[in-house]
Amino acid sequence: MTAAPSADAARPAHHQEAAPVTQAHATPPAHDTVVDPADEPTVPIPRDLINALDTRRPTTDDPAGDRLDERPEAVSVWTTAQASPVTQRKNKYVPASTAHPAKMLPEVARHAVTHYTRPGDLVLDPMCGIGTTLVEAVRLGRRAVGVEYEPHWVDVAKANLEVARDDGFTSDARVFHGDARQLVTLLPPEYVGQAALVVTSPPYGPSTHGQVLVAPGEGVQKYHHRYGNTLDRGNLANIGHHRLLAGFTRILFGLRTFLRPGGHIAITIRPWREHAELIDLPAQILACGVAAGLIPVERNVALLARAAETDFVARGSFFQRDFIRKQREAGLPLHLIAHEDVLVFRTALTTTDTDATDDGPARSAPAGEASTGTEPRWA
């Protein structure tokens, strides 16, 4: 497990807002970049440790607890694909958004923002891509801030926010260009302790959507299915699964600096298959969150299929359907993935929020460090 950064790094030292990108399809440099030595493979957290964490609920004495009680009741299944992805983005996102290899469904972000924030709250996405989280937050009257590693998507995210402004949604929203693992030095001090919600998703590596082109005599070709330059080792999508987990843990730790007490982090994630073997990424991200000192509170399902009267209408991509067909022909009874997991964590309600295990009494968290107490409400 990677060691948590020291409390001295809890406040930003400087920031750099995204500068205009002159090339519309700029990509990261092709040469290898140095990856921080702290980016080491994470170690799964034992289930008995997670089960042993404090299960107390927020009390009415907690301001954050009061706010949560007044919000719409959270449900474990989010019907977020009743409309197709194309319909959800129609007239709200610029055409260049289509090229992103792993776009979040707008309704997923919209559902999270609706249920975990109020108008005027700040919503943050440290890996914002085309800005889906930011756009949906602004269109719901929330403020938004995002970070994106690839310069081209910074420009696209800004363009999508301009569409929202042109439609009359004027909430403050900013996009910064940089590596989300450096959040505490990337975002300006004005955002420290201000975010009510983070909505994000780690890069899926090989499991991306992409586009399909069928040319006579050339068969089916896939394009727009990779993150930036595959030789750029600074991109989390290109550094291997274990280092991805280590980098994502570091991002989650950095997010604690910018979340207010009791603030939530909603992470959309799905498993994928490598050579027909299921990679349980949701469970691994859960371990990352606990290792980063966050408190797991919910595990929900965001549907990727339309819930009809008697069944589901799958919305799998061409490549997902083709993969399933081939696996079934080979004798493996696989099915299309019809949902994403949504893991929801929160930060400590107060600086004296405690954690208690069977090994001893509760203790106060050190200064500048959130406790690992929990109030699990797993669906």
Residue 297: which residues within 8 A CB-CB, separation 6 or more? 264, 344, 345, 346, 374, 375, 376, 377
Reference 65, options 197, 256, 262; nearest CA is 262
Cβ 288 vs Cβ 249: under 8 Å: yes
Question: Is 34 part of any domain?
Answer: no
Pairwise pLDDT comparison (334 vs 299), residue with the higher score: 299
Question: Is 172 part of any domain?
Answer: yes
Cα(90)–Cα(222) distance, rounded to whole angstroms? Answer: 23
Across 158-171, average pLDDT: 98
Could you tell me the pLDDT band of residue 94, with boundaries at 50, 70 and 90?
very high
Q: Read off the DSSP letter of residue 308.
A: -
Total number of domains constituting the chain: 1
Reference 251, options 181, 204, 202; nearest CA is 181
In this predicted structure, the answer to whether residue 182 has a pLDDT above a threshold of 60 is yes
Question: Is 100 part of any domain?
Answer: yes
Cα(101)–Cα(84) distance, rounded to whole angstroms? Answer: 17
Its domain, for residue 247, covers 52-378
Reference 368, options 263, 253, 285, 250; nearest CA is 253
- Percent of the chain at pLDDT > 70 equals 61
Predicted confidence at residue 35, as pLDDT, reads 40
Cβ 366 vs Cβ 360: under 8 Å: no
In this predicted structure, the answer to whether residue 16 has a pLDDT above a threshold of 90 is no
Question: Is 19 part of any domain?
Answer: no
Could you tell me the pLDDT band of residue 240, with boundaries at 50, 70 and 90?
low
Pairwise pLDDT comparison (285 vs 62), residue with the higher score: 285
Question: Is 133 part of any domain?
Answer: yes
Assign residue 112 the CATH number of its domain: 3.40.50.150
Span of 81-85, 129-133, 157-161, 313-317 with lowest mean pLDDT: 313-317
The pLDDT tens digits for 311-370 are 888 877 677 777 778 878 888 887 778 889 999 999 998 765 544 333 333 333 333 333
Beta bridge partners of 342: 268, 300
Predicted confidence at residue 269, as pLDDT, reads 92
Question: Is 8 part of any domain?
Answer: no
Across 11-27, average pLDDT: 39
Could you tell me the pLDDT band of residue 278, with boundaries at 50, 70 and 90?
confident
- Percent of the chain at pLDDT > 90 equals 45
The pLDDT tens digits for 27-80 are 334 444 444 434 444 445 555 554 554 443 444 444 444 444 445 555 699 999
Torsion sign (Cα): 315, 123, 128, 153: positive
Residue 70: which residues within 8 A CB-CB, separation 6 or more? none
Across 270-282, average pLDDT: 77
Predicted confidence at residue 217, as pLDDT, reads 64
Q: Where are the beta strands (DSSP E) in 224-338?
A: 259-269, 272-274, 277-279, 295-303, 306-307, 312-313
Could you tell me the pLDDT band of residue 82, with boundaries at 50, 70 and 90?
very high
In this predicted structure, the answer to whether residue 12 has a pLDDT above a threshold of 60 is no
Q: Which amino acid is at 300?
A: N
Predicted confidence at residue 241, as pLDDT, reads 73
Q: Which amino acid is at 143?
A: R
Predicted confidence at residue 48, as pLDDT, reads 57
The pLDDT tens digits for 133-148 are 999 999 999 999 999 9
Cα(315)–Cα(295) distance, rounded to whole angstroms? Answer: 32
Residue 88: which residues within 8 A CB-CB, separation 6 or more? 105, 106, 107
Predicted confidence at residue 204, as pLDDT, reads 63
Question: Is 6 part of any domain?
Answer: no
Span of 23-37, 184-198, 228-242, 303-317 with lowest mean pLDDT: 23-37
Cα(264)–Cα(269) distance, rounded to whole angstroms? Answer: 16
Predicted confidence at residue 229, as pLDDT, reads 53
